[in-house]
Structure 1
């Protein structure tokens, strides 16, 4: 499977989803969080200056149409400097890292961060595997999100990921009504307790924002959310599902990773998060 899904596909899938998710945020949210975006060197560069989570400022999708060079990375870092952004993450697939990457990152003060794994799965495979998975526990159901509950859904996303609700919930809720996005929710006795959406681009579906609130975990909700999105992706003509999650460090267990592996996802590669800071000495 991995050989049939090149990193050009997986990287662009994530990059375009992130770009569309952030740029669709309401203008009031963009101003409050100091959000800007640009396309540089074939990749997307997203800046959120006022972000206490340090998650949303990231540059990715590089190496597909334009080689990763010192000039490209310099332009990316200059963009963040121009936005007075203190910190950002640069994500480049291993296949696209240039031979002089250590020199480039040394020049810009870019350091090693954690690693993520990129996963891929044929939509047909995920749907077939889903048929053999036990349905979610009693009282839990998964279905497409009703538009009138988008704000509530956005708040659950932020709580599940430990992010502030102010501004972030509104940004997340905005994606629910944006073309190309297909949000789902998990309900437990009428309360939204789990979330998951996907961005469809051609024959590729990018999994996004899959999470369940702590009190509703271990009931099969996250797997059910994955299965529901896989079925929708196949219905829309997608052949490939793409996802990312944190790599497991020795002695740790990532439930999201194992839920995806259970549905037929395979690890395509591990990708380092490279950290740029305006003041490295800080």
Structure 2
């Protein structure tokens, strides 16, 4: 059965999760990272000037109910320019791209970057229990005193090793509208995942497993735990995104989500603005 999550809800929930995550950091960390937020116009945007990967420089939530125009995007490009970032991504669902998108992209100097699969699923049916883990592993909710270890696993697994980026991640553990989970091997965290609650829709956020613990079911267990949490919060839908597969590629995260009942909604390009 095809998921019924509306495109605008899916996209808005995603960008709100990233902004809420980043702005959890203390003011001193936000200042050190050069963090800024724009909530004007039909979309919202996040800028993190001191992120060398440019990953957190993103704009989304284009829920205008009509194809976007250059006038919608110019303020976002100006926002990135004013915050001194070298590159930012505009994440626009394909149904919102105008017929003349190639001309609009050229006008603004946007280039197509990596592609992601947007997935969603309804939460109106009960799910099975948490998949079995190795005998010496356990899954649970992360407590505040475990935040730094949890954040270190999350960020370094993705390649974000700067101390301020790790502190940013540690700061949102236990925040309202969030739930953070971990899988422990004895006393060591080996896998992490979060879920963001936004009204009727929840968002899977930052599932990561330490390289030496992969292939043993940690992410499947974390997905199941987050599905149950979103249903318990009264959410109607849950969404996620992960890298699209190119020819000959295999993305384990994508297949974990498909096995958990998520359905692809569309492939979405990251349209990159460069200073």
Shared topology, TM-score over 0.5? Answer: yes
Distance 1:264 1:154, change over 3 A: same
**In the alignment, structure 1 residue 95 sits paired with structure 2 residue 92:** no
Q: Which residue of 2 aligns with 1:277?
A: 274
**Number of residues paired by the alignment?**
275
CA contact (8 A) 2:46 2:58 kept: yes
Give the SS at the match of 1:276: strand
Equivalent-residue separation in structure 1 for 2:41 and 2:99 (angstroms)? 17
Q: Which moved more, 1:268-277 or 1:94-103?
A: 94-103
Within 1, Cα distance between the matches of 2:131 and 2:70?
50
**Following the alignment from structure 1 to structure 2, what is the Cα–Cα distance between the partners of residues 207 and 4?**
17
Question: Is residue 2:79 matched to residue 1:82?
Answer: no
CA spacing shift, 1:134–1:19, aligned 2, 3 Å: closer
Out of 235, 240, 246, the residue aligned to residue 237 of structure 2 is 240
Give the CA RMSD over aligned residues.
Answer: 1.6
Unaligned 5+ residue runs, structure 2?
Answer: none
Q: What is the CA–CA distance in structure 1 between the aligned matches of 2:206 and 2:88, rounded to whole Å?
A: 20
CA contact (8 A) 1:43 1:62 kept: yes
Are the counterparts in 2 of residues 136 and 220 from structure 1 also a CA contact under 8 Å? yes
Query: 3-state DSSP class of the match of 2:171?
Result: helix
The TM-score, its normalising length taken from structure 2, stands at 0.95
Contact map agreement 1:40 1:72 (CA 8 A) in 2: no
1:198 deviates by 0.7
Query: Structure 2 CA distance, aligned partners of 1:243 and 1:41?
Result: 24
Contact 2:123 2:236 (8 Å CA) reproduced: yes
Distance 1:101 1:47 in 2: 24
Query: Corresponding residue for 1:49?
Result: 49
1:271 is displaced (CA, Å) by 0.5
Residue of structure 2 in register with 1:197 after alignment = 194
Give the match for residue 120 of structure 1.
Answer: 120
- Native 8 Å contact 1:139 1:189 kept in 2: yes
Aligned residue for 2:179, secondary structure, equals coil
What is the deviation of 1:3?
Answer: 5.7
* Per-residue Cα deviation, 1:38-95 (whole angstroms, up to 9, x for no partner): 1132211111111112100011111336752111111111111111211001100001
Secondary structure of the residue aligned to 2:239 is: strand
Distance 1:140 1:64, change over 3 A: farther
- Among 260, 263, 269, the alignment partner of 2:260 is 263
The secondary structure found in structure 1 opposite 2:249 is coil
User: Are the equivalent residues in 2 in contact too, given 1:54–1:88 (CA < 8 A)?
Assistant: yes
The 1-side partners of 2:28 and 2:2 are apart by 41
After superposition, what is the alpha-carbon deviation per residue over 1:134-169, rounded to whole angstroms, capped at 9, x for unaligned? 411221111111121111111110122121141111
TM-score by length of 1: 0.93
- Say if 1:42 and 1:65, in contact at 8 Å, map to a contact too: no
